Structure 1
Amino acid sequence: MAGTMRALVVDRLAPDYQGVAVREIARPEPGPSEVRVRVRAAAVNFPDLMQTRGEHQHKPDLPFIGGLEMAGEVDAVGPGVTAFRPGDAVCSGGRGVFAEYVVLPAAILQPKPARLSYGEAAGYPVAYLTAYVALVRAADARPGEWVLVHGAAGGVGLAAVDLARAMGCKVIAASASDEKLAVIGREYAPDALVNVTEGFRERVKALTGGRGADVIYDPVGGDIFDESVRCIAFGGRILSIGFTSGRLPTLPVNIALIKGFSVHGVRAGEYGRQFPEKGRENTAAIWRLAEEGRVKPRVHAEYPLDRWREAYETLAQRKVVGKTIIRPDL
């Protein structure tokens, strides 16, 4: 039966989210091999904010609904769907999930791990898949290696701290906030905490016995990347995840030559598209980690759909430790 739903729609690209509003639109119907999900929780990511201004590499046609990952309950299934039925708790990455309902291919849905709340499950797939592709596929990080995680309080940063610990690495969590570092230290117990405000090169070298970090996970870019090349170990790996600082750094290749390190760009979704079989293995691996309770995603705060602006601002103002969640069901 046709109906309507509320959704967070981007009508035009503009600063300060001026082109974004909650609107009543037609509720989508599932087609063959598709599932309609009643969204219980959807995570906010930096690309969501960037897309409202047209600053992200993925530029959907206007108007569009934001959101990249969600958890909810199956509401209806299309022809040919046998793996799910109404009432099943599911989660997934996907586009357009800041809405009361979303239609997604059944093939990309995962049963929600019983250990995770809807909010935890919603904030899980993008961050942990990014961390997994970076640390396992790109860096081939080994137990006992030193892993320096920048932006450790953010969604992808905290996922890397969590996953690196589960892999047996020695983890240095880095942030510009002592308050955030205190939370990370209390809840995740990395081997060291480093405030980067006054620089971090010498501190990292001291922690690693002068060698430097074997792996550096960098979702920040800018000055953080510039200083990271000064404290990477010989033969180390710098993982470029993103540029939340707003500045694209440049690599002094003479330093890379002298220190023998490599820089890996990480786009977890594109990795899966280029290598489908490995992509399926990656997805299976992160959900297995969640089901076994070896990792623990953190929800910073949850907001109803009408308070989406407050949710966006937690990221824009760097207030988050973990993931911010929008709850269309409230």
Structure 2
Amino acid sequence: MRAARIHELGSAEAIRIDTVERPPPGPRDVLVAVEAAAVNFPDTLMIAGRYQTKTQLPFVPGHECAGVVTAVGSRVTRVAPGDRVATLASGAFAEYVVVPESSAVPIPEGVDAAEAAATWVCHLTAYHALRSTAQVQSGDVVLVLGAGGGLGLAAVELATALGATVIAAASNADKLTAARERGARHTVDYAGSDLREGIRAAVGPGAVQVVIDPVGGRWAEPALRELSWGGRYVTLGYASGEIPSIALNLVLLKGAVIKGMEIRTFAQHDPHSAGRDRMEFTELWQAGRIRPRIHARYPLEDTAAAMTAVANRQSVGKVVIEIVTPGAVEVDEIDPLIGAHAFSSAQPDKS
């Protein structure tokens, strides 16, 4: 199969399209022919060697994709060959991925693979942050920093769905327009104006109950200062490239709570909340209340360009890599080497 692999940490220019062995599923795994995969900001940090954890070179980036199940392990019962699924999967920028059965979620009718691929990481991260970490209630005022990116727009959309009044803060007019389209009541251009003054003009001083922050940097402290007493501040990442230092006296005086949330380990540390959130989130998605904004679509050969666009914060919403042509996978064989029902692709087999 073809896969985009990074061979040297630094920039996306070190990505090559390699031919590698197609992985077989284990007993509780499924093999997915990837139709589309989404690029997330942490993917760009990983290939730059700036992420919190390191991966041995060479590796295939990507953690979010959608496609067709082509084979299932001998102990899989919930997913069948031919099912269209979205999943969180390491090594998603490839023609095939193997994932646990529990990670494969059916794609609702009428949702294409690109939209499905662009939904899980950002929207599920945002939902965990809002629902479980910040415990957002209807009527809360929620400030979302970086509101024009994939995670920020997801937080705007989901906070609105939870009944919150949303202030969207972003760096340009196009991003703020997208945030208003997703339900933001107020917007602040923090590149062209003072963030704190913009928040106060929108809702008054000290009126924010929740801050959702995937950006960090110099915007963290003014956002924290506008929390109401007992407010909740959730840190999700540092897209600005700067991890902020917070004066703890601000936390003391406001009775504030600062919490972090990371999607990779959330279910491990809080399985009850993770299961509940996932069920509620899936219901919202299947009801058509969640629709990610696709900024651009790239072929697998242009993975480097797709990742560069995200790294440079040029995108409004999600960037997607389209890999296997939809409808190119057909049922016609059982693979005796896998010991499970399998499919062959209408494209040439590159394994």
State the TM-score, normalizing by the size of structure 1.
Answer: 0.94
SS of the residue corresponding to residue 99 of structure 2 reads strand
Q: Which runs of 5+ in 2 are unaligned?
A: 326-351
1:1-330 → structure 2 map (5 Å cutoff):
5-13=1-9, 15-185=10-180, 187-197=181-191, 198-329=193-324
After TM superposition, give the deviation of residue 159 of structure 1 in Å.
0.5
After TM superposition, give the deviation of residue 115 of structure 1 in Å.
4.1
CA contact (8 A) 2:232 2:257 kept: yes
Q: Which ranges of 4 or more aligned residues in structure 1 deviate by more than 4 Å?
A: none
Q: Deviations over 1:107-166 (max 9, x none)?
A: 211111224221111111111111111111111111111111010011111110000000
CA contact (8 A) 2:7 2:14 kept: yes
SS of the residue corresponding to residue 267 of structure 2 reads helix
The CA RMSD measured in Å over matched residues stands at 1.4
Q: Which runs of 5+ in 1 are unaligned?
A: none
Higher deviation after alignment, 83-92 or 66-75: 83-92
After TM superposition, give the deviation of residue 201 of structure 1 in Å.
0.6
After TM superposition, give the deviation of residue 16 of structure 1 in Å.
2.2
Q: Relative contact order: is structure 1 or structure 2 higher (C-alpha 8 Å, sep ≥ 6)?
A: 2
Q: Deviations over 1:73-123 (max 9, x none)?
A: 011112122222221100111101100111111121111122422111111
CA contact (8 A) 2:12 2:308 kept: no
CA contact (8 A) 1:304 1:329 kept: no
Aligned length, in residue pairs? 324
After TM superposition, give the deviation of residue 277 of structure 1 in Å.
2.7
State the TM-score, normalizing by the size of structure 2.
Answer: 0.89
CA distance in 1, matches of 2:56, 2:217: 30
Q: Percent identity?
A: 39
After TM superposition, give the deviation of residue 212 of structure 1 in Å.
2.7
SS of the residue corresponding to residue 250 of structure 1 reads coil
CA distance in 2, matches of 1:58, 1:27: 25
CA distance in 2, matches of 1:82, 1:260: 48
Higher deviation after alignment, 166-175 or 271-280: 271-280
CA distance in 2, matches of 1:122, 1:11: 25
